[in-house]
């Protein structure tokens, strides 16, 4: 390694991954091994955030830049502009795993040559930004750790594929295991003690079902009171229902969901809603009970249930992670437009909102409302 003053950087961007069959409960806290498989989807087509107040509309993802330089004297990280500690075991495990797989890197233009053995001595600076609420049940830990692992792997010229990287991201946050792939993704439980067979596979890519539209209704962007990590630990320790869910329910649902993903929307919707509701039932069965959803979340569920019942077949699926925010999956753009209109009717935005900002792809939703 030459001693010139240089900085080498890599940037990655990763969308979140919302579970349709939820992971809730670990059998190993350090390696982050799950008690059940889980299936998630990366919102791929105009995921739209609408909040009751104020209004935001965007695709939501994490952007992480990692930099290495002989000028850096310790590993440091900034999340959303604030410095945070990297001393936690999850960050340390991800950094160690990636460093151990690093390879030679050469940038002739800048006159930089880093040999494999140099990576142990070099320090990294990490700057990460989530363009959606952090720690509010919209899978920031999933996008965050997947993006971190991917950016570090890029910087350090790691040659492993996404499957292997998913076992590293998993050690940052369980849900991050699924976030390295697009489309529908399954996190395989695995049974080896070292976690090497607990990774993710893509079940279907983004193109397979590209008329689905995901709308996120941001009910609250506040940080949740009980983190997912603490919540699931308490559920494993105290809920009687969680064992039934893990043994008798999730394994069946995983098989059914894999079948439904072949574009059977009513089945995807029924399974997704049922699994979200059961996951929140486990939270209620935890001692003390955990309330991730609030009254607004419950109202959204009621509206969707009523609408689906009146149509005779599901048009929209809802799912809530560990937080009050609704992830709504519409079966196509026409239904998504109707859904957005209904949400705006039931939860009118503040008076000074520019209503033309509600745009779904190239169609302005509000033009049709009258």
* Positions in the binding site for ligand DP6 (CB under 6 A): 19, 22-24, 32, 38, 40, 139, 141, 173-175, 228-229, 321-322
If the CB atoms of residues 41 and 142 are measured against ligand ADP, the closer one turns out to be 142
User: Judged by CB under 5 A, how many residues of this single chain contact Co ion?
Assistant: 2
As beta bridge partners, residue 36 has none
Report how far residue 286's alpha carbon sits from residue 350's, in angstroms, rounded to the nearest whole number.
37
Q: Which residue in this structure is represented by tokens 């979200």?
A: 276
The answer to whether 192 and 29 have CB atoms below 8 angstroms apart is no
Q: Which of 16, 64, 141, 337 binds Co ion (CB under 5 A)?
A: 141
Q: Which stretch binds Co ion (CB under 5 A): 96-104, 106-114, 221-229, 309-317?
A: 221-229
Q: Which does 134 bind (CB under 5 to 8 A by kind): ligand ADP, Co ion, ligand DP6, none?
A: ligand ADP
The answer to whether 155 and 66 have CB atoms below 8 angstroms apart is yes
If the CB atoms of residues 200 and 228 are measured against Co ion, the closer one turns out to be 228
Q: Which does 138 bind (CB under 5 to 8 A by kind): Co ion, ligand ADP, ligand DP6, none?
A: ligand ADP
* Least Å from the CB of residue 136 to ligand ADP: 6
As beta bridge partners, residue 62 has 14, 130
Q: In Å, how far are 174, 225, 234, 236 from 229, measured between CA atoms?
A: 9, 12, 9, 11
Q: Which does 144 bind (CB under 5 to 8 A by kind): ligand DP6, Co ion, ligand ADP, none?
A: ligand ADP
If the CB atoms of residues 77 and 344 are measured against ligand DP6, the closer one turns out to be 77
Report how far residue 263's alpha carbon sits from residue 320's, in angstroms, rounded to the nearest whole number.
22
Dihedral (C-alpha) 247, 17, 302, 278: value to the nearest 10 degrees?
10
Report how far residue 120's alpha carbon sits from residue 36's, in angstroms, rounded to the nearest whole number.
35
Q: Which does 23 bind (CB under 5 to 8 A by kind): ligand DP6, Co ion, ligand ADP, none?
A: ligand DP6
Q: Please report, as ranges, the residues that interact with ligand ADP according to CB under 6 A.
A: 62, 79, 128, 130, 134-142, 144-145, 148, 173, 227-228, 321-323
The answer to whether 87 and 153 have CB atoms below 8 angstroms apart is no
Contact residues for Co ion (CB under 5 A)?
A: 141, 228
């Amino acid at each position: 390694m030459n001693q010139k003053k240089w900085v080498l950087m890599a940037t990655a961007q990763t969308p979140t991954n919302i579970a349709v069959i939820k992971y809730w409960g670990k059998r190993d806290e350090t390696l982050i091994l799950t008690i059940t498989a889980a299936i998630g989807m990366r919102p791929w087509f105009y995921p739209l955030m609408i909040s009751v107040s104020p209004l935001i509309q965007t695709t939501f993802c994490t952007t992480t830049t990692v930099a290495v330089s002989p000028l850096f004297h310790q590993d440091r990280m900034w999340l959303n502009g604030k410095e945070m500690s990297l001393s936690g075991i999850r960050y340390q495990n991800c950094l160690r795993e990636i460093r151990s797989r690093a390879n030679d890197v050469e940038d002739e233009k800048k006159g930089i040559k880093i040999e494999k053995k140099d990576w142990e001595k070099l320090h990294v600076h990490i700057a990460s930004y989530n363009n959606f609420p952090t720690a509010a049940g919209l899978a920031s830990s999933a996008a965050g750790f997947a993006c971190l692992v991917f950016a570090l792997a890029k910087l350090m010229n790691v040659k492993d594929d996404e499957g292997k990287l998913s076992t590293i991201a998993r050690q940052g946050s369980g849900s991050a295991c699924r976030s390295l792939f697009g489309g529908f993704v399954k996190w395989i439980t695995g049974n080896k003690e070292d976690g090497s067979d607990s990774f993710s596979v893509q079940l279907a890519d983004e193109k397979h079902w590209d008329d689905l539209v995901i709308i996120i209704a941001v009910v609250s962007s506040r940080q949740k009171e009980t983190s997912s990590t603490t919540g699931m630990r308490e559920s494993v320790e105290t809920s009687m229902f969680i064992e039934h869910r893990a043994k008798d329910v999730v394994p069946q649902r995983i098989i059914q969901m894999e079948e439904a993903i072949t574009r059977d929307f009513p089945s995807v919707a029924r399974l997704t809603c049922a699994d979200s509701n059961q996951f929140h039932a486990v939270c209620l069965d935890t001692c003390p009970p955990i309330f991730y959803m609030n009254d607004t979340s419950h109202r959204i569920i009621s509206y969707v249930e009523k609408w689906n019942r009146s149509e005779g077949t599901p048009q929209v699926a809802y799912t809530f992670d560990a937080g009050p925010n609704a992830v709504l999956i519409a079966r196509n753009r026409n239904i998504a437009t109707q859904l957005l209109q209904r949400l705006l009717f039931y939860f009118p935005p503040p008076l000074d909102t520019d209503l033309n900002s509600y745009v779904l792809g190239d169609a302005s939703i509000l033009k049709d409302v009258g």
